[in-house]
Chain A
Amino acid sequence: METKNGHAATGVLQGVRTRLVIEEEITATPEQMAYAKLLDKGMKLGLLMLIITFSIYLIAAASPMGLLETHVPVKDLPKYWSMPVSEYLKHANIQAGWTWVTMLDRVDFLNFTGIVFLAGITILCYVRIVPIIYRQKDYVYTVLAVCEILVLTLAASGILHMGGH
């Protein structure tokens, strides 16, 4: 690989990948850049969602009139957060899995939108890079990326759960 002064681009073929060299600075592969850009935007949006929904939760907590409803009254939280999760779900009358989606009218469960978004960004990033890698005819890595999407989707699906202790 050679580098040149000034704004010169040198293409280097590594298998079926091309890495651009600009001004003696190594930059990432196209799929790496695509992943990074989507990850950056998604992370910022997820964090913003987290801050906004938690702020609403704090307002609900401080509101003496109870204008915004929570499923678990904040004053009862100390009772629950020291319990094993199985007991918490039973005493708080909460179903595990994706049932939180049906409880978004309660501000404590509104927080899950930001949490779930942050947990889901990686899946979106993988979906983003699959066509890029496929177009490079890198079939092994295409399969690896698709497998990862399937593994993460399985984890996110709510199908996998164990009995509590």
Chain B
Amino acid sequence: MSPLRLALVVFVSLATTVVFSLFFATTAPAATDALVQSSIPWWIWPSVLFVVTFVLGIVAVLGGVGGGVLFVPIVGGFFPFHLDFVRGAGLLVALSGALAAGPGLLKKGLADLRLALPVALIASIGAIIGALIGLALPTHIIQIALGSTILGIVAIMSLAKKSEYPEVKQPDALSQALRITGIYHEVSTGHDVKWSIHRTPQGLALFLLVGIMAGMFGLGAGWANVPVLNLLMGAPLKVSVASSKFLLSITDTSAAWIYVNNGAVLPMIVVPSIIGIMLGSLVGVRILAKTKPAAVRYIVITMLLFAGGRALLKGLDIWS
């Protein structure tokens, strides 16, 4: 058993033991003072968070979405954690997933470093700006903007087409100057696929906006990276998906640092979320072959519709 797997087993066993021992022990309500008091034992919400993120991890894999885009609206809408901490945790959750997937995608040549480097620079600058703005704006404004963005994401997921091999008649001058081109081996056909991109300046401008939104809302930005890379810039779908996943590790790093350094990271929220989603992803990968991705995708879209609506109404103080 690898050390990491052993550590995971030990952790889950320990966490389960602690949760059950606390459940059966005599618990007293949290000490009262001038601040908010709760009659629910403190460990209930992190435990529920772990279970929920485990399920989100499974659903994210089956639905073909990132964990970040599900995490923030759902946890932010239905848990008592302030949105500042939820966004900080969301970025770290998305970052962890991207860090885990990145090595394999890079080694196989599906994620392209040459494509990612200029895009990542622009997106990470945007993410820093977005994180700073997000931490400065009033919470209800962020809730309204988050809700609207999530509903927009639902629209993109429902309506946007995907192109496996977009036609790029002529690479633009910038992509030629940067030599952004590549080749990967398509296993399903057995052929090598040469690719190039176009509309690079427009794509880079959009990535600045994508970075800002990722930093502001603590989302993973995969929902935007893939359409921009695939539909606008013309990268093949597999290269777009893989490079997007890898890009998240850079974009979310920059935004995550802002949240960490501004104190918006609570380990009791972050760590159960990261481990829950990672374990859920492992299960999701195993059962992926036995499920109907289209059906799960509809479930994901419905969840996001509900969570986005909830965030919007919460921000408008209609459903708090």
User: Out of A3, A33, A59, which one reaches B14, CB within 8 Å?
Assistant: A59
Contact check, B136 vs A163: say whether CB atoms are below 8 A apart. yes
Contact check, A91 vs B35: say whether CB atoms are below 8 A apart. yes
Question: How many angstroms from the CA of A55 to the CA of B158 in the assembled complex?
Answer: 41
* Chain B contact surface mostly: helix
Chain A: minimal CB distance from B136 (Å):
4
Contact check, A83 vs B109: say whether CB atoms are below 8 A apart. no
Q: Which residues of B contact A8 (CB under 8 A)?
A: none
Q: Which residues of A contact B31 (CB under 8 A)?
A: 75-76
Surface stretch bound by A, among B65-73, B99-107, B227-235 = B99-107
User: Out of B36, B128, B179, which one reaches A151, CB within 8 Å?
Assistant: B128
Question: How many angstroms from the CA of A157 to the CA of B254 in the assembled complex?
Answer: 11
Q: Which residues of A contact B8 (CB under 8 A)?
A: 51
Chain A: minimal CB distance from B226 (Å):
20
Q: Which residues of A contact B250 (CB under 8 A)?
A: 122, 148, 152
Question: How many angstroms from the CA of A43 to the CA of B124 in the assembled complex?
Answer: 20
Contact check, B178 vs A119: say whether CB atoms are below 8 A apart. no
Interface string of A55-97 (1 = CB under 8 A from B): 1011101100000000000111111111111001101001011
Contact check, B3 vs A48: say whether CB atoms are below 8 A apart. yes
Contact check, B30 vs A75: say whether CB atoms are below 8 A apart. yes
Contact check, A119 vs B253: say whether CB atoms are below 8 A apart. yes
Q: Which B54-96 residues sit within 8 Å CB-CB of chain A?
A: 80-82, 84-85, 92, 95-96
Question: How many angstroms from the CA of A46 to the CA of B4 in the assembled complex?
Answer: 10
Confirm or deny: A18 has a beta carbon within 8 angstroms of a beta carbon on chain B: no
Interface centre among A29, A141, A148 (most CB of B within 10 A): A148
Interface string of A131-165 (1 = CB under 8 A from B): 00000000011001101100110111110111111
Would A54 and B120 be within 8 Å (CB), given that A78-B36, A156-B261, A158-B261 are in contact? no
Contact check, A55 vs B10: say whether CB atoms are below 8 A apart. yes
Interface extent on B, as a size class?
35 or more
Interface string of B104-139 (1 = CB under 8 A from A): 101111001110011011001100100011011111
Chain A: minimal CB distance from B49 (Å):
11
Question: How many angstroms from the CA of A163 to the CA of B4 in the assembled complex?
Answer: 39
Question: How many angstroms from the CA of A144 to the CA of B174 in the assembled complex?
Answer: 14
Question: How many angstroms from the CA of A96 to the CA of B92 in the assembled complex?
Answer: 18
Q: Which residues of A contact B288 (CB under 8 A)?
A: none
Q: Which B123-160 residues sit within 8 Å CB-CB of chain A?
A: 124-125, 128, 132-133, 135-139
Question: How many angstroms from the CA of A129 to the CA of B260 in the assembled complex?
Answer: 26
Contact check, B138 vs A165: say whether CB atoms are below 8 A apart. yes
Contact check, A36 vs B102: say whether CB atoms are below 8 A apart. yes
Contact check, B99 vs A46: say whether CB atoms are below 8 A apart. yes
Would A26 and B184 be within 8 Å (CB), given that A78-B42, A85-B85, A96-B263 are in contact? yes
Q: Which residues of A contact B108 (CB under 8 A)?
A: 28
Question: How many angstroms from the CA of A77 to the CA of B192 in the assembled complex?
Answer: 54
Confirm or deny: B282 has a beta carbon within 8 angstroms of a beta carbon on chain A: no
User: Out of A27, A116, A141, A163, which one reaches B107, CB within 8 Å?
Assistant: A27
27 A-B contacts, Cβ less than 8 Å apart?
A29-B114, A33-B106, A36-B104, A43-B99, A47-B278, A48-B7, A50-B275, A51-B8, A54-B267, A54-B275, A59-B14, A61-B18, A78-B40, A115-B92, A115-B265, A116-B260, A118-B92, A118-B95, A118-B96, A119-B257, A144-B117, A144-B121, A152-B250, A152-B253, A160-B132, A161-B135, A162-B133
Q: Which 9 A-B pairs have the closest CB atoms?
A: A111-B267, A40-B103, A36-B106, A155-B257, A162-B136, A85-B84, A78-B38, A43-B99, A158-B261
Binding site for A on B (CB under 8 A): 3-4, 7-8, 10-11, 14-15, 18, 21-22, 30-31, 33, 35-38, 40, 42-43, 45, 80-82, 84-85, 92, 95-96, 99-100, 102-104, 106-109, 112-114, 117-118, 120-121, 124-125, 128, 132-133, 135-139, 177-179, 181, 183-185, 192, 249-250, 253-258, 260-271, 274-275, 278
Inter-chain pairs besides A47-B100, A161-B258, 17 sampled, C-beta below 8 Å: A39-B99, A39-B102, A39-B106, A48-B4, A51-B275, A57-B267, A62-B22, A77-B42, A79-B38, A81-B82, A84-B82, A96-B263, A119-B256, A122-B250, A148-B121, A160-B258, A164-B135
